[in-house]
Structure formats: C-alpha cells, structure tokens
Amino acid sequence: MMLAVAGCGPAEPSPYQPDNTLPGIEGYELVWHDEFNEGKKPDTSNWSYEHGFVRNEELQWYQSDNTRIENGRLVIEGRRERVKNEFHDSTSLDWRKHRPFAEYTSSSINTRGKQSFQYGIVEVRARIDTARGLWPAIWMLGTHPERGWPANGEIDIMEYYRVNGEPSILANAAWADEEHNPIWDDEKIPFEQFLENDPEWPEKYHTWKMKWDEERIRLFLDDQLLNEIDLAETLNPDGFNPFHQPHYILLNLAIGANGGDPSGTDFPKQYEVDYVRVYQERNDS
C-alpha cells in the first residue's frame, strides 16, 4: 500500500492502564490495546483520521463520518455517495486536486504521533468484506516521515485485494532501493484457498498477528504463518533498517485501485475490527 501523504512528528503516548482481564501471551506483557467497547467514535487520544483523497488514486474520499463504534467493535463503512472535493483545482495535475467529486466515501484511522511500537506482537481480530472493489488493510509505517516512503518502512499485517484479477490475502513488508522505489517481501495467497477450507470464511472474524523482533517479522492469519521477513535483508541504500525503529498502526478500507471495480457492488460495506492488542517481551528484571 503505497503512501503519499506527509507525516508529523511523534507526540507523547497516552498513558496506558493494564487490563488483567484480557488474555495474555506467555513471555509477553500487554502494553497497549483498544477493545472498542466505549464511546461512539474511536478515542482521539489514540487515533487520528485521514481526510480526502490520499493515496494510490483510490476512489474513496476519507472522512471521519464513516467510522463508528458499535456493539464492541470498530466499524469502518464504505459508501457509494457523491462528495465534493474541497481541494478541487481543475488546473492541477495532482489527482487529489483534479477530481471535482468523489463517488465513494470511507475512513482511514491511525495512531501516528499517539501510539507507536518497536518489536513485540500486534494482534488484530477483524471481519472483512470480500466484495469486488474493496481493499481493507491492517498495516504499519515507521515514525520518521522525513525519510519518505518506502525508505521509512511499511508492514502489511493484512491486505485484501485483487492480484491479476484474482482475490487475494497479502502479507508484506517494503523498504527502499537506490532509486527510492519499493523492495517488497510479499506473500499473495489466493483467497480461493481459504474458501475451499471454509466456504463461510467471509462471514467470520479472523485473527491477524505479527511477531516482530530484531531478526525477523512473521505474519500470521489464524495462527497460519503467511510470510517471514528476514531483517538482515531489509536495508535501505544508506544502511538504515526501517524495521529497527518504532512503527504506528493504520486501519482503513480503500475502494477501487487494487481492490478492483466497485461499480457492480452493493453498498454500504463494512470492515469490522473487534480489537487491536500490542504485546512486548516481558522484562522481569
């Protein structure tokens, strides 16, 4: 998922209060989580919204209206609706400004400047809609935006979109080559494989997990290892390793672009997140 939006500097994280009622992981402690059990909107001390046309020449206009908390889950809703582009400039060659209207809306939220993590386990339980045109994602970006994408690093814990027209689940990481283009360590699993094992897969919640340490990143879906990234190989040309720095979390539902043509899809569509949990190795000393 290419990035085309300027970042901001890190801010002090919100105070974390441990919750001993949540399940633990042996050898790890829960350092931050959001269960989406309180309020009607995501907690702004943890989450920020993206706004407008953002990346990849996608079709949706990102806005906060499409995000809510409902029945203990985060709901990001994709809608077919016409919205005026408030940044419209007919003389601009920038696709974000040249389009006078958006025909779809959705939301993208992130923890940039509020919560960031280096190493540990990130676990997200979610239900994704697999209709044509949708591109849901759980991903992370490095906290030094001055380096630019992809030199700052990207980890795609989950992406769902169409690869050569075929619906696929993806688990990836990206860094930079000498031309500042992305080098991808990616895994693309045809979605048909999951449907063969469980025809009701799209109706269910599933757990995506990243295990990250100094040597590697491992990406899992329902405890099935999808991809393992050797961090000895992820060096930018200047020697900087973007995966030896903190990253922040993004949750979004894109429409169009890699997701395919949504024109024949019935809307609204919902991407639902039950929780986000971050664990780090316990330091008993």
Active-site residue list: 154, 159
User: 200-204: long-range contacts (C-beta < 8 A, 24 or more apart)?
Assistant: 202/127, 202/128, 202/129, 202/130, 203/127, 204/127
Residue 205: CB partners within 8 Å, gap ≥ 6?
A: 125, 126, 127, 272, 274
Angle at 71 between CA 250 and CA 211, to 5 degrees: 35
Closest CA to 76 of 244, 225, 268, 283: 268
Who contacts 161 (Cβ-Cβ below 8 Å, separation ≥6)? 134, 135, 167, 168, 170, 257, 258, 259, 260
In one-letter notation, the amino acid at residue 15 is P
Give me the residues paired with residue 98 across strands: none
